[in-house]
Structure 1
Amino acid sequence: MIQKIKTILLAGTTAFIAISLIKYPDQSLEASIRGLNMWWEIVFPSLLPFFIIAELLIGFGFVKFIGVLCEPIMRPLFNVPGVGSFAWAMGMASGYPTGAKISARLREEKQLTQIEAERLVSFTNASSPLFIFGAVSVGFFYDVKLGIILGASHYIGNALVGVCMRFYGRRAEKKKTVLDKKKVSIIRAFREMHQTRVNDPRPFGKIVGDAVLNSIQTLVMVGGFIILFSVFTKLLYIVGVTPAIATLFQYILQLLTLPADLALPLLSGLFEITLGANLISQDEAANLLEKIIVVSFVLGFNGFSVQAQVASILAPTDIRFAPYFFARIIHGLFAAILTALFYTPLYLNRTSFDFKGVPVSDSGHEATWQEFLLRLAEIGPLITFASLAIAALIIIRRLQKT
C-alpha cells in the first residue's frame, strides 16, 4: 500500500511539473536561466578546484596521512576516524556538497564504516565563507560585519551537530569500534600515506584524469539540481502552492515571536537557499535580528536543492540519507539560537544601526567582496567552458585507446 501511494505521489508530482512547464513557459525559462547563470558563473568555477584537489589528495594518500595525525581529535569529539578532519575542513572551505562528495569517496575507499560515514556527512556540509560573507552579508544585507555573526553561528552550530551525532549508531557498532591507542607519529602517518598510494595501481595520468572527470560529472549533476529547483520553486509560487503552505509557517513563526511576513521567504529558503536569503533580506516588516535568525536557520537547513544534491552523491554508496536530513534540522535550530545569542557581543558592540535594522556597512571590506564576486562572475564562464572542454578531450582520448 505504501509503495502504491509513493508511486501516485511521484507520478503526480512529475505530471504537475510537466503541465506547469507547458502552461507557464516564459516564467519557467526565466527561472531556468537564473539557475543556469548561478551554476555557470559561480558554483562550477568556485567548487571545481576543491573537488579535483580532494580527489588527488585521496588518491595520493595524503588524506590517510592527515587521518593518522587527527585521530586523537576526531575520534573523541565526533566518533569518526581522523580522515574525517579532511572532509570537515574541505566542506567548510568550499561549501556544500563537498563534504558529502569526500565522505562518499572515503566510504568507497573503505576508510570509513557505514555508521562513521553517516556521522561524517551530517556535519561536513556547510555554507562556504564566500557565500556567507560575499553573497549573504554583502550581496543581500550590504553589511560585511553580519558575516561574522552568521559565520560564527553557522560553523559552531555545525560542530555541535557533529558532537550530537557522535552518539548516532553506537549500539549498532558497539562491538566493531576499536579505538586506535597508538601514539601520534609523523613517521607512521607517512608510512600509511605511502602504503595507500602504492596500493592504487593507477598511473599518475589516470589518477589526474579520473579526478577531473569525477569532479566535473558531480558538478554537472549539481547544476542540474540547481536549475530544477529554481524552476520548481518558481512554479510552486505561480500556481499558489507556496503561499498556501506559507500560511502554516505564519502560525509557527508567530509562536516563536517572529514576524509572520517572513513565512513566504522562509519557505522559499527551505527549497533554495540563495532565493530565500535574498527575499528575507528584502522584508520590511522584520528588524535585522529577526531576519538573520531566519537566514541562519535556512543556511543550516541547506535547502531541499542542496539536500537533493547530497542524496544523489550518496546514492551509489550504502550511506543513508535520513541521518543527514535529521542533522540539517538540528543545525538550523542551533544556528538560529546561536545567532540570537551572538547578536549583541558580535554585532551590536561592534557597529551602529538604527532600530529599523538598517545596517552601517564597512565600505572597504564590502568593496573587496563585491570586486571578488564580480571578478569571479566574469571569468567563471571561461573556467566552466575550459573545464568541460578538457573533460571532453579526456573522454575522447580514452575512447580512442579502447
Structure 2
Amino acid sequence: MSRHSPVLTLLLAISTVFIVIALIAYSQISFEAAVRGLKIWWEVVFPSTLPFIVLSEVLMGLGVVHFVGVLLEPLMRPLFNVPGTGGFVLAMGFSSGYPVAAKLTTRLRLQGNVTKAEGERLVSFTTTGDPLFVMGAVAIGFFHSEQMGVILALTHYLSAVLMGVIYRFHAPFAITSAPLEKNSLPLPLRALQAMHRARIRDRRPFGKLMGEAVQSALNTLLMIGGFIIVFSVLIQLFSTIHLTQIISTLLSIFLGPFGFPPAFSQAIVAGLFEVTLGAQAASIVPNDVSLVWKAAIASAILSWGGLSVHAQVASILSETDIRVAPYLIARSLHALLAAILTFVLWGPLATVSSWFAEKAVPVFVHAKAEIPATSWWETFLLSGGLAIGVGAILLCTSLTLSHMNRSKTR
C-alpha cells in the first residue's frame, strides 16, 4: 500500500474524526491527561534534555565531533559499519536517552558526515532510554529494587550494542562515507586536523553558534512536548473507551497457547504506546507471576520505546532521507533481544548479587517504594558523567585497536 493510497487516506480521516468526537465527549478527562503530559515534559524531559542538545550543537560547530570521529574510526567502522562520528551519538544517546540520538544523527546527515544507510544503522541502535529512567524510575520507582536496575540496564544496553553489530549488515551494498582524515600522521594529530578544518568550514562566531544551538534545541523540545501531550491524551482516551482492554484481551488469547503469562497482555498494550506506563504495568502484575518474567517484559518495553517516542524520532528524521522503517524493525528486534538476554543473564546476575551481599538478604532487595527525586543539576551531572564515561571507554578501545593494527602492519 503506497503512502498516498486512497484507502489509507480514508482510514486516517475516519480515525481522526473518531478521536475528535472522543475528545469532545470526554473533554474533562482529555484536559487532565494533557496537563499530566505537560507536567512530565516540563519537569522531567525539558530540563534533562535541553542541555545535551545545546551542548551537542555547540560541539558540532566547534569541530569536536570531528575530533572524536577520527579517534573512534578504528572502533566504529569495523564493529558497527558507521563512521567514527557515530561514537559521539552513541555516548550521548546512551547517557541522555531518546530521542537525542535521532537529533544528532539528523545533524550528521545534514552535514554530510554520514550516508543514508549509515544514518539508518546509527539511529537504530543508539536510541535508548537514559540510565536515570531505567535504574531510577523503573527499577526503584516501580519495582522497588536496586538490583533490578542492574538487570534492566545491562540487558537494555547490551542488547542495543548487539543490535548495532547486527545492523552493520543493513544495506550491505550501500555507499559508505569516507574517513574524515586519512594520511600518515599519528591518530591524535589527524583528529586535531579534522577538528580545525571543521571549525574553519563552520565560520560562525561563538555567540551566533550558541544562539542557533539554543534555538534548535528549543524547537526540538517543543516538538517533543507536543507529542508527549498528544499521546498522553490518546492513551487516556483509549483506556476510557475500553479500547486498550479489548486489545489486551485479544492479545492474551493469542499469546496464551505459547505459554505467555496472560497477566502481561495489559502491560504490553500499555508499553506499545508509552514506555513509562508499560513498565509500570509490568511491575504491578500479580505476585504469582515469576519475577524474571516481569523483568523480561519490562526490559522489552524499555527497548521498544513506545509509539510516542517513535513519533518523535520520525518527526526529527523527516528533515533527512533516513527512513523510519529500519528504525522500527530495529526497535522490535531490540525488544526481543532484551527479553532473551534477561532470561539468559538472570541466573548469573542473581548469583553475583547474592555473593556480593554483605548480609544474608534476598537477592532483590526492596528499595524505597517511590521514584527517586533528583534535581536538574544532579540529573545533568550524572548524565554528563555517563556520557564522558561511555566516550572514554569507546576512545580507549579505539586507540587500542588502532595501535594493534599499526603493529600488525609493521
Question: In structure 1, what is the Cα distance between the partners aligned to 2:354 and 2:237?
Answer: 40
Shift of 1:314: 0.2
Q: Which amino acid aligns with 1:336?
A: A
Question: In structure 2, what is the Cα distance between the partners aligned to 1:95 and 1:37?
Answer: 18
Structure-1 residue corresponding to 2:65 = 63
Structure-1 residue corresponding to 2:320 = 317
Structure-2 residue corresponding to 1:230 = 232
Aligned pairs for 1:2-401 (under 5 A) are 3-173=5-175, 185-284=187-286, 285-351=288-354, 359-362=364-367, 370-372=372-374, 375-376=375-376
Question: In structure 2, what is the Cα distance between the partners aligned to 1:236 and 1:208?
Answer: 42
Question: In structure 2, what is the Cα distance between the partners aligned to 1:253 and 1:292?
Answer: 18
Residues 136 and 170 of structure 1, relative CA distance in 2, 3 Å threshold: same
Shift of 1:222: 0.5
Structure-2 residue corresponding to 1:399 = none
Any runs of at least 4 consecutive aligned residues in structure 1 with deviations exceeding 2 A, and if so which?
Answer: 176-184, 251-258, 357-363, 375-380
Question: In structure 2, what is the Cα distance between the partners aligned to 1:329 and 1:182?
Answer: 41
Residues 60 and 181 of structure 1, relative CA distance in 2, 3 Å threshold: closer
Q: Is the 8 A contact 2:61 2:199 kept in 1?
A: yes
Structural RMSD (CA): 2.4
**TM-score, normalised to structure 1's length?**
0.87
Q: Where do 5+ consecutive residues of structure 2 fail to align?
A: 356-361, 381-410
Shift of 1:247: 2.4
Q: Is the 8 A contact 1:42 1:377 kept in 2?
A: no
Question: In structure 2, what is the Cα distance between the partners aligned to 1:378 and 1:12?
Answer: 46
Question: In structure 1, what is the Cα distance between the partners aligned to 2:146 and 2:341?
Answer: 18
Aligned to 2:353, the other structure's residue is in SS state: coil
Question: In structure 1, what is the Cα distance between the partners aligned to 2:307 and 2:313?
Answer: 10
Structure-1 residue corresponding to 2:358 = none
Q: Which amino acid aligns with 1:43?
A: V
Question: In structure 1, what is the Cα distance between the partners aligned to 2:377 and 2:86?
Answer: 32
Aligned to 2:170, the other structure's residue is in SS state: coil
Q: Which amino acid aligns with 1:91?
A: G
Q: Deviations over 1:161-210 (max 9, x none)?
A: 1111101111233xx56678756511111011011001112211110001
Question: In structure 1, what is the Cα distance between the partners aligned to 2:366 and 2:29?
Answer: 35
Structure-1 residue corresponding to 2:389 = none
Q: Is the 8 A contact 1:65 1:193 kept in 2?
A: yes
Q: Is the 8 A contact 2:354 2:363 kept in 1?
A: no
Shift of 1:153: 0.3
Q: Deviations over 1:283-337 (max 9, x none)?
A: 2152321111111111111110000000000001111101100100110000000
Q: Is the 8 A contact 1:142 1:359 kept in 2?
A: no
Aligned to 2:87, the other structure's residue is in SS state: helix
Shift of 1:358: 10
Q: Is the 8 A contact 1:118 1:319 kept in 2?
A: yes
Structure-1 residue corresponding to 2:390 = none
Residues 252 and 336 of structure 1, relative CA distance in 2, 3 Å threshold: farther
Q: Which amino acid aligns with 1:299?
A: L
Residues 378 and 199 of structure 1, relative CA distance in 2, 3 Å threshold: closer
Residues 159 and 358 of structure 1, relative CA distance in 2, 3 Å threshold: closer
Question: In structure 2, what is the Cα distance between the partners aligned to 1:89 and 1:255?
Answer: 41
Q: Which amino acid aligns with 2:49?
A: L
Shift of 1:238: 1.5
Question: In structure 2, what is the Cα distance between the partners aligned to 1:45 and 1:232?
Answer: 24
Question: In structure 1, what is the Cα distance between the partners aligned to 2:379 and 2:172?
Answer: 47
Shift of 1:82: 0.2
Aligned to 1:350, the other structure's residue is in SS state: helix
Residues 196 and 295 of structure 1, relative CA distance in 2, 3 Å threshold: same
Q: Is the 8 A contact 1:351 1:360 kept in 2?
A: no
Q: Is the 8 A contact 2:156 2:299 kept in 1?
A: yes
Q: Which amino acid aligns with 2:9?
A: T
Shift of 1:145: 1.1
Residues 169 and 235 of structure 1, relative CA distance in 2, 3 Å threshold: same
